[in-house]
Structure 1
Amino acid sequence: MSRSRKLHRLSNPDANERRAQRMLFRHLRDDTNANRGRMARRVRELQLLLEMDPIEFEQLIARLMESMGMKVELTARSKDGGVDVRGIDSDPFRGGNVIVQVKRYRDTVTPSVVRDLFGTLQHDRAATKAVLVTTSKFGPSSHQFVSGKPITLINGSELVGLLKHHGFHEMFAPAYASAVDDPAGGSAAGAPAIEVAAEPARLLLHWTGEEEYDIAALVCQGNRALSDDHLVFYNNASTPDGSVRLVTGYDDANA
């Protein structure tokens, strides 16, 4: 089928296709409402981390590392060299000497911070890998920079997930209490805005019949595409940072 006929069919769907579209939009609406509640809760959880004393927050990260089976040492603040916590992981597969830098930020961590940590790693003879932990998020440039390097970036959403997974649920109890006081999910009066890293989302497209359609996604900033590499389609299945990916095949999409 020619592309013009495909476009005509997309703009003039039959009854079955219209029904499928209505079901898709209903699922998207339900997912949006659920995501709104999760995001509001995550803002409250991150607000609790941001209200912590800086030293207390570093100690929390050290305790998290200990709960993961690592031997941990907090560095002296006057001589940390950009390193807040050091850990030794004795696991025979993933183990090594880890240096950790903690950023209790509200705004996106700049790529220069990531590059500085890589420089610290290169000059640290004992360290084999580095981890940068933040309460905010990282931009595409930071993810591109660490690709192939022994550096792990942990954003605010991932940090909350790790803390919960390793038994730190109680520290987030006030966030759940405020949800009861404020069912709409609004933040506390006067509380500063927080950038929350988006949770993974999946859009599943499925149709019946013999026709085949080319699915594409264009990642933009404002009304301009970020680059040619940010056009995701059959011949370019992922953005450079992997944040948007095309998975073909119904079975693969549900994997």
Structure 2
Amino acid sequence: MTKLLSVRLVAILVGLGFTVAVLWGFLVGAYNAATEEAAGHVPYEHPKELSWSFDGPFGKWDKAQLQRGLKVYDEVCSACHSLKFVAFRDLEQIGYSEAMVKAYAAAKTVPGIDPNTGEASTRPGLPTDYFPSPYPNNVAAAAANNNAIPPDLSLMTKARGDGTNYVASLLMGYQEPSAELLEEHPEAAPGPGLYHNPYFPNLNLAMAPPLTSTGQVTYDDGTEATVEQMSKDVAAFLTWTAEPTLVKRKQTGWPVLIFLLFATVLAYMSKKQIWSAVKPKK
């Protein structure tokens, strides 16, 4: 009896502790939200709700769009941002042949070792190499970008809430702050070296508008390269770099769900069959 009481007491204390922790988290979050609003926290806009081929349970990659997005990254974004978790050979997943991947990798310069001296050098890329960084180190990156280090983009759409829509909205969102915003929040005015963007949490960021005009990139498939089109294409490409197994995971999920449903029905029928001869006591 004493042991049973001890177990119950421990269970009660654990449940009480969990309840207190949840309540504390709620109160702290509510307090932070209230104080930010009271302090005049500058409001930013939530990303636009855009349509994507990979949305929903039956979504799939639009490989033509992913290839266009690679072109935007290659010709615009790669000047400042790296893709350190993506290998050249991964591009076969978005429709490039082995020969095309080899040619693409060979056109890139990656870090290497001089076999004769053992010193650091550079060499043409191989399919097994990863996308090189545009800067040798963070010091050089900061020096070239007004002391702001451009983040790696490999996992960017997973690192931001509503990541795909966020990236596309941010690239399309550069504009001058409105007079009403500046009147209500003077601190929203972009300082030296900063650019206003309503989709960025503090409204001003150090990255200059990367996509500025139609035709900045020439697509191989003839698609018109408007700022909106380029923004959506590179956002889709970065969604693939962050989660290349996204579509395969969805495709795998359906057979698993069907199997679990079948197993549940089978287990229920087995239970009914096994216990059918047993009558409940009155």
Bigger radius of gyration among the two: 2
If asked which structure has higher relative contact order (CA below 8 Å, sep 6+), I would say 2
* Normalised TM-score (structure 2): 0.23
Greater percentage in helix: 2
Greater percentage in strand: 1
* Normalised TM-score (structure 1): 0.24
